[in-house]
Structure 1
Amino acid sequence: MGSPVRRLLRARLRTTILIVSGAAVAVLAVGAFALVNGDESTKPASAAESAPQATTAFQDRPRTGPTRASRGQPRSPEPSPKKTKSPKSKPDSSAGHVAKPVKKKRHKVVESGSCKASYYWEGQMTASGEPFDPSELTAAHKTLPMGTKVRVTNKNNDRSVIVRINDRGPYAGGRCLDLSKAAMKKVGGTGAGVIPVRYEVLSRG
Structure 2
Amino acid sequence: MGSRRARLRTVLLVSGIAAAVIAAGVFTLVNSGGSAESAQAAQTAPRTPPPAAAPLPDPPLATPTRASRGRTRAPEPPHTKAAKPKQKPKAKAKPVKKAPSYKVLKSGSCEASYYWEGQMTASGEPFDPNALTAAHKTLPMGSKVRVTNDNNGRSVIVRINDRGPYAGGRCLDLSKAAMVKVGGTGSGVIPVHYEVLSRR
One of 86, 99, 105 as aligned partner of 2:101: 105
> Identity of paired residues, percent?
62
Is it true that 1:51 corresponds to 2:47 in the alignment? Answer: no
* Pair 1:38 & 2:27 matched: no
Q: Deviations over 1:20-62 (max 9, x none)?
A: xxxxxxxxxx89973x43343x526xx32x5217xx849x97x
Residue 152 of structure 1 and its aligned partner are, at CA, apart by 1.4
User: Of 120, 123, 131, which residue of structure 1 is paired with 2:118?
Assistant: 123
1:176 aligns with 2:171: yes
Partner of 1:78: 76
Map 1:1-205; keep pairs closer than 5 Å.
34=40, 36-40=41-45, 42-43=46-47, 47-48=49-50, 51-52=52-53, 57=56, 71=68, 73-79=71-77, 81-82=79-80, 105-109=101-105, 111-203=106-198
How far apart are 1:167 and its partner, in Å?
1.5
Contact 2:102 2:198 survives alignment (8 Å): no
- What residue identity is the alignment partner of 1:43? R
Number of positions where the alignment pairs a residue of Structure 1 with one of Structure 2:
150
Q: Which runs of 5+ in 1 are unaligned?
A: 1-29, 87-101
* Contact persistence 2:148–2:193 (CA under 8 A): yes
Alpha carbons of structure 1 residues 79 and 198: separation in structure 2 relative to 1, 3 Å: same
TM-score of the two chains, using structure 1 as the length reference: 0.55
Structure 2: segments with no counterpart, 5+ residues: 1-35, 85-97
Alpha-carbon RMSD = 4.1
Is the 2:104–2:195 Cα contact (8 Å) retained in structure 1? no
